[in-house]
Chain A
Amino acid sequence: MKAKLDQIREQALAQIRNCDTTDKLNEIRVGILGKKGELTSVLKSMKDVAPEERPQVGQWVNDARAEIEKVLEEHRTKLERAVREARMKAEVIDVTLPAKKAEIGHRHPNTIALEEVERIFIGMGYEVVEGPEVERDYYNFEALNIPADHPAKDEQDTFYINGDILLRTQTSGVQVHEMEKGKLPIRMIAPGRVFRADEVDATHSPSFHQIEGLVIDKNITFADLKGTLAEFAKELFGEGTKVKFRPHHFPFTEPSAEMDVTCFKCGGKGCRFCKGEGWIEILGCGMVHPHVLEMSKIDPEEYSGFAFGVGLERIALLKYEIDDMRLLYENDIRFLKQF
């Protein structure tokens, strides 16, 4: 009996090892372990074995079966792996073929720059608000300390609808709207379209965008203005960016300043980009003029604040090295796709 079993086993193992497909392997399995298989038939013939030998023979059969099954399984795994390997070998692709893109659209460079600025100021606790583009003279000029005969009104070449209503020349009027709401403290930025009667050329457009900023609280100082805008410049143009504040004049701030940043192209050494200056003028700012606070019913003895105004196109042109402002309003898809 033992000899027969050994023979079956040896034969089976040899068959398995010589087998080269999983289908054949299945046939082998059925032929040995199936209902009519060789080993099964040995079990069926147990009734011919003396009862006292049956445990021994049973053990032999089980051992043989276990061994065959184990080898069978191992060989199947091996064959399957070989098949998979072969398949994958056939599936090699040229990974340098073109990508299949979802063709998403592109954001306007102005908006990209604006969202950068918004992100920075929202992080510092500023609310982004808006004001009307067609505005009253009072908000665009008078409430900003630019009375009727002020020369600054001429400098800004205003588009008028009538004597009282105009296209805003600056976003600064939003300051007044916010202050008039009477909710203090204020930390806001107000981006938006502004209009000035400039003929279109590479550096001028009769319609462009500004971002106004305003902070009103107790104990706001010029030092706070400097600190805030220095932080802003670093976030926008890079950690190494330095700022320089130069005295300037705006009717609605006092003291006033213009802020330059170190040229982000050359780091301040001077290059063609910054016309050899090493610095690039970026924004105007100042402490809110006490008279402006008073006009908006805020007590300048108790509150102070700072304001700033940034030209959005200026930032976008500088940051993305766009050399002609007209590109921003042509909407040529070859331009837009670069952002």
Chain B
Amino acid sequence: MNTSLSWIKAYVPDLDCTAQEYRDAMTLTGTKVEGFERKDKNLDKIVVGQIEKIDRHPDADKLVVCQVNIGTETIQIVTGAPNVKEGQKVPVVLDGGKVAGGHDGGPLPEDGIAIKAGKLRGVESNGMMCSIEELGSNRDMYPEAPEEGIYIFKDDVEVGADAVELLGLRDTVFEYEVTSNRVDCYSVLGIAREAAATFRKPFHPPVVKACGNGEDVNDYVSVEVKDTDLCTRYCARVCKNIKIGPSPEWMQRRLASSGIRPINNLVDITNYVMEEYGQPMHAFDLDTVEGHKIIVRRAKDGDQFQTLDGQMRKLDGEVLMICDAEKEIGIAGIMGGENSKITDDVHTVLFEAAIFNGANIRKSAKRLGLRTDASGKFEKGLEPRNAEDAINRACQLIEELGCGEVVGGIVDVKEPIPELRELPFEPERYNRLLGTNVRNEEMLEIFSRLDIRAVEENGQMKLVLPAFRQDLIGMADIAEEVARFYGYDKIPTTLPSGESTNGKLSYKLRIEQKARDIAEYCGFSQGMTYSFESPKVFDKLLLSADDKLRKTVTISNPLGEDFSIMRTISLNGMLTSLATNYNRRNKNVKLYELGNIYIPKALPVTELPDERMQFTLGFYGEGDFFTMKGVIEEFLESVGLKDKKEYDPNAGKTFLHPGRQALVKYQGHVLGYFGEVHPEVCDTYGIGTKAYVAVLDMPEVVPLTTFDRKYEGIARFPAVSRDISMVVPKEVLVGQIEQMIAQRGGKILESYSLFDIYEGSQIKEGFKSVAYSITFRAKDKTLEEADVSAAMKKILNGLEQMGIELRQ
């Protein structure tokens, strides 16, 4: 919403403040001013001059030399403008002055253009005559300006007068951010009312008098509303003997300041009233209205309709239409029809000011792909009383501006208009909610500024709320009115009293925090990727056509196919991020992410999906499979998973190297998987080196975690170590060897560690050499040779049963 200060001042004449003061004060009472633009910020020393004499330039065909009377003196100006004539009055910028832009109408430079006296092709020129573009505007807003050349004033302006003022450019245009609850403030009057209340100045809205000739509008038109659920009020008035012409300058300037292009008196009046009252109006050429009858009803599914912009629109059964006795003539609240639009030959106009259902208009406009100024206003839900005021105001302007003759009376078809809302006056509750001590009188004074009437009834004070404030419904709304005019800044600052509470992270979040810590200790940096992705991801990951990960929660209105499904696997984001880094030649990239996947419980989706937090790691560069394994173990141990982790090489992940992948298991639970990325997948993503990824499914991990720690004592008795060296069939995993050692080692087994593994020429085909160091220790004594030998014997027997040969 944009409005000029001068238009506001038309209703609040005593308003006296700078633009900045206005902005600050309005913002603090809730009418947020986003910014303002002083129209004259780069217009300096510009006066009305009269061209007294024009001579040819001695050395240039396209230039002329003008003698221009600027009131105090006559100065010489050289110009190339094609349209200057002796006797014309024009805007002249004097030596040392400034204009806003160039004559080409391009983007305006921040600091304008300084004008200095000088010579043009050898002839002295002491200023410049200005086009409307040089003054920072354009022909859209100043339709009277010539297509090319200098702006020409009307004859009645005074020579030497302030040209900027005459053009209405001594003004500031404010841009407001109006909140959706303040429907009344989508109008100049609404904002002016807030300005008056903010600055404690009297508010003078336009006085609308009954107008119209002795005729009865009912002899001209009848109205029938068939769908009263979508149209709660329809006011119609008729004006005849219409004389189309330009609207007065003051109206053109005000419309221009709101960004609306002046067209002609009739269009300008409807636009003006829409801005002023916030009530959109429509004008029909009554001679095109068949049977002089208006019918308001829903369209039929599949109807076609040509709007006044010439476009054919496909309608459906929920679009509300304005029809005459035979046909549709306008889409209610959105756009009129080509078949009833006003032309320059119009004689009789039918004005419509109606109240349409906001939600219906909003949805229709969306479905039709046709959002207009009018629909934008209607969709907020307009107040029915305002419609009548607005149509009368328009008729008054028709009369005042000599645009036509207003037919007496109004056709007004309406549902019952709700009574004015009333609320009890509850000062203690307002103060209790705000934490303030505002006195009753002060509250009442604030209400009076807001047109909220305080009335005493049976000894009780009640508040009668103005119709235009549809947002005031309960106690808290009134408290806000008190707060914003008492001043948010004057409300004290305290801290909540009452019962103290325990500040903490949820347990799940604590585990995630640990995951971040460990990942980072291990050199991984945190990435973040989107939750939605393309269904093509599954092919990129080589998943089979019937893989259950392909069953997704799908967005019905995505930004595009690439963002259309909620991810069921976290790897695409990770691989994409690794690829981004690889492309940018970043070396040794280690990333992790904590983010959800979304597993549908059933398809089609009827329940919320299972949101599973995934701890995803990925890297390329230094490190290998076992680097990743190390990170996983570091994390699991840090959250209390101290027992042996098991690794099952039969993970079955299509996107991982078939010989370099494993499931991570703990106490029988599958916690996740990791491995080297399948070379084909690396190729697909554009990662030109080996990459490794791991995914831990946190809902599986979290229940197994604990932060409990118990001191187990430091061993007091010496340990005994034995090294064994084995020749092992290739297919036997060291995990199986370890399992055997653990099973057979007995109570005195303390630990075991792999210290050598070798495959190669010295070892026979199909075998590998593996060496372990096994450590024994008793808690209560120094071990004797016999104890250790017995344990070792059991272990070695077990290993031999696995087809393992011991090397001596």
With A206-B563, A207-B530 known as contacts, the answer to whether A227 contacts B494 (CB < 8 A) is yes
Determine the distance from Cα of A104 to Cα of B634 in the docked complex, in whole angstroms: 14
In chain A, positions 291-339 with a C-beta closer than 8 Å to chain B are 291, 304, 328-334, 336-337
Segment touching A, from B227-235, B504-512, B677-685, B703-711: B504-512
Q: In residues 352-375 of chain B, which contact A (Cβ within 8 Å)? A: 358-359, 362, 366
B29 & A124 in contact (Cβ 8 Å cutoff): no
Residues of B within 8 A of A207 (CB): 530-532
The answer, yes or no, to whether A217 is at the interface (CB within 8 Å) is: yes
B505 touches A128 (CB 8 A): yes
Contacts of B502 in A (CB 8 A): 125, 127
| A134, A148, A199, A227: the one within 8 Å of B566 (CB) | A134
Q: Which B residues have a C-beta under 8 Å from some C-beta of A?
A: 27-30, 32, 179-182, 358-359, 362, 366, 379-380, 432-436, 471, 474-477, 479-480, 483-484, 488-489, 491-506, 508-509, 516, 519-532, 553-559, 563, 566, 577, 580-581, 584, 586, 589-592, 595-596, 598, 604-605, 608-609, 611
Q: Which single residue of chain B is at the shortest CB-CB distance from A258?
A: B32
**In the assembled complex, which residues on chain A have CB atoms less than 8 Å from the CB atom of B506?**
127-130
Bound complex: CA of A110 vs CA of B358, how far in Å?
Answer: 39
The answer to whether A255 and B496 touch across the interface, beta carbons within 8 angstroms, is: no
Contact call B531/A193, Cβ cutoff below 8 A: yes
A255→B479 contact, CB < 8 A: yes
What CA separation (Å) do A221 and B29 show in the bound complex?
19
Known: A125-B501, A185-B501. 12 other contacts (CB 8 A): A107-B520, A111-B516, A134-B598, A148-B359, A151-B180, A151-B379, A152-B180, A227-B494, A333-B591, A334-B584, A334-B586, A336-B526
A25 within 8 A of B: no
A193 to B573, CA, bound (A): 16
> Which residues from 204 to 219 on chain A have a C-beta closer than 8 Å to any C-beta of chain B?
206-207, 215, 217-219
Q: Can you list 18 contacts pairing A with B, beta carbon distance less than 8 Å?
A: A102-B521, A123-B503, A125-B501, A127-B501, A130-B509, A132-B608, A134-B608, A162-B556, A162-B605, A165-B608, A197-B557, A223-B435, A227-B493, A228-B495, A249-B181, A254-B480, A331-B580, A336-B591
In the complex, A160→B604 CA distance in Å? 13
- Given A122-B503, A217-B496, A257-B488, answer yes or no on A105-B524 (Cβ-Cβ < 8 Å): yes
Interface set, chain A 155-200, CB cutoff 8 A to B: 155, 159-162, 165, 167, 185, 187, 193, 195, 197, 199
Residue of B nearest to A147 (CB): B359
Pick from B516, B526, B559: contact of A199, CB below 8 A. B559
**Min CB gap A165→B, angstroms:** 6
Q: Are B611 and A226 in contact (CB under 8 A)?
A: no
Contact B434 A221 (CB under 8 A): yes
Q: A134-B598, A207-B532, A334-B586 are in contact. Are A255 and B476 (CB under 8 A)?
A: yes
Residues of B within 8 A of A24 (CB): none
Question: Which chain A residues lie closer than 8 Å to B180 at the CB level?
Answer: 151-152, 155, 249
Residue ranges of A at the interface with B (Cβ–Cβ < 8 Å) = 102-108, 110-111, 118, 121-130, 132-136, 148-149, 151-152, 154-155, 159-162, 165, 167, 185, 187, 193, 195, 197, 199, 206-207, 215, 217-224, 226-228, 230-231, 244-249, 251, 254-257, 287, 289-291, 304, 328-334, 336-337
Q: Which residues of B have CB within 8 Å of A105?
A: 519-526, 590, 592
Instruction: Report Cα–Cα, A125/B499, bound state, in Å.
Output: 10
Assembly CA distance A187 to B479 (angstroms): 24
Q: With contacts A206-B563, A247-B30 known, is A108 near B491, CB below 8 A?
A: no
Q: In the assembled complex, how far is the CB of residue B791 from the closest CB belonging to chain A, in whole angstroms?
A: 38
Which residue of B is nearest A148, CB measured?
B359
- Complex CA distance for A147 and B531, rounded to whole angstroms: 27
Contact of A330 among B480, B554, B580, B611 (CB under 8 A): B580
Measured in the bound complex, the distance between the Cα atoms of B598 and A133 in whole Å is 9
Ordered nearest first, which 6 A-B pairs have the shortest CB separation?
A: A223-B435, A221-B435, A247-B30, A149-B359, A249-B179, A255-B480
Name the A residues within 8 Å of B559 (CB-CB). 197, 199, 206
User: Given contacts A245-B488, A247-B29, are A222 and B179 in contact (CB under 8 A)?
Assistant: no
Please state if B531 and A125 are interface contacts (CB–CB under 8 Å).
no
Known: A149-B359, A332-B581. A107 touches B526 (CB 8 A): yes
Interface residue from B32, B503, B522, B609 paired with A121 (Cβ < 8 Å): B503
- CB–CB B434/A246 < 8 A: no
Given A105-B523, A221-B433, A336-B526, also A331-B591 (CB < 8 A): yes
* Contact in complex: A151, B358 (CB < 8 Å): yes
**Residue on A nearest B509 in the bound complex, by CB:** A128
Q: How far is the CB of B90 from chain A (nearest CB, A)?
A: 36
Residues of B within 8 A of A287 (CB): 433, 476, 479
Of the listed residues B28, B435, B566, the one surrounded by the most CB atoms of chain A closer than 10 A to its CB is B435
Contact with B495, one of A102, A167, A227, A337 (Cβ below 8 angstroms):
A227
Closest B residue to A221 by beta carbon equals B435
Contact of B32 (CB < 8 Å), options: A102, A135, A155, A248: A248
Q: A207-B530, A224-B494, A331-B528 are in contact. Are A126 and B501 (CB under 8 A)?
A: yes
Q: CA of A192 to CA of B426 in the docked complex: distance in angstroms?
A: 39
Question: Which residues of B have CB within 8 Å of A123?
Answer: 503
Q: How far is the CA of A125 from the CA of B475 in the complex (A)?
A: 30
Closest to A249 in B: B179
Q: Contact at B488–A103, with CB atoms within 8 Å?
A: no
CB B604 to nearest CB in A, in angstroms, measures: 7
Complex formed: what's the CA distance from A154 to B527 in Å?
31
B530 touches A329 (CB 8 A): yes
Q: Which of A155, A224, A251, A331 has the most CB of B within 10 A?
A: A331
Whole-angstrom distance between the alpha carbons of A135 and B605 in the complex? 12
Q: How far is the CA of A248 from the CA of B590 in the complex (A)?
A: 44
The residue on B at minimum CB distance from A185 is B499
Contact B520 A106 (CB under 8 A): yes
Residues of chain A lying within 8 A (CB to CB) of residue B531? 133, 167, 193, 195, 207
Chain A residue numbers with a CB within 8 Å of B496 are: 187, 215, 217, 220, 224, 227-228
CB pair A333 B526 closer than 8 Å? no
Q: Is the CB of B555 within 8 A of A161?
A: yes
> Is B505 a contact partner of A118 (Cβ separation < 8 A)?
yes
Give the residues in chain B near A227, CB-CB below 8 Å: 492-496
Kindly state the separation between the CA atoms of A136 and B503 in the bound complex, as whole angstroms. Answer: 28
Q: How far is the CA of A244 from the CA of B487 in the complex (A)?
A: 11
Known: A103-B523, A126-B503, A151-B362. Contact between A136 and B489, CB under 8 A?
A: no
Complex: how many Å from CA A303 to CA B689?
A: 61
List of A residues within 8 angstroms of B598 by Cβ: 133-134
B contact residues around A329 at 8 Å (CB): 528-530
Min CB distance B511 to A, Å, is: 13
Task: Give Cα distance in the complex from A226 to B414, angstroms.
Answer: 46
Q: A255-B479, A287-B433, A332-B586 are in contact. Are A122 and B527 (CB under 8 A)?
A: no
| Residue in A122, A125, A136, A226 whose CB lies within 8 Å of B500 | A125
Query: Is B489's CB under 8 angstroms from A245's CB?
Result: yes
Residue of A nearest to B577 (CB): A331
Chain A residues within 8 Å of B499, by CB:
185, 217
A223 touches B476 (CB 8 A): no
Contact of A162 among B30, B379, B563, B604 (CB under 8 A): B604
A230–B586 touching, CB < 8 Å: no
State how many angstroms separate the Cβ of B288 from the closest Cβ of chain A: 34
**Docked pose: A292 CA to B634 CA in angstroms:** 46
**B584 contacts across to A, CB distance below 8 A:** 332, 334
Of all chain B residues, which has the CB nearest A227? B493
Nearest-neighbor residue (CB-CB) of A192 within chain B: B596
A136 to B605, CA, bound (A): 12
Inter-subunit contact A337/B525 (CB<8 Å) = yes
Instruction: Report A280 CB to chain B, min CB distance, Å.
Output: 14
A229 nearest CB across to chain B (Å): 9
Please give me the residue from chain B that is nearest to A306 by CB atom.
B496
Cα distance A223–B496 when bound, in Å? 9
Q: How far is the CA of A291 from the CA of B500 in the complex (A)?
A: 26
Chain A residues with Cβ below 8 Å from B581 are 331-333
Q: Which chain B residues border A102 with CB–CB below 8 Å?
A: 521, 523
* CB neighbours of B488 from chain A (8 A): 226, 245-247, 257
Contact partner, A130, options B508, B526, B527, Cβ 8 Å:
B508
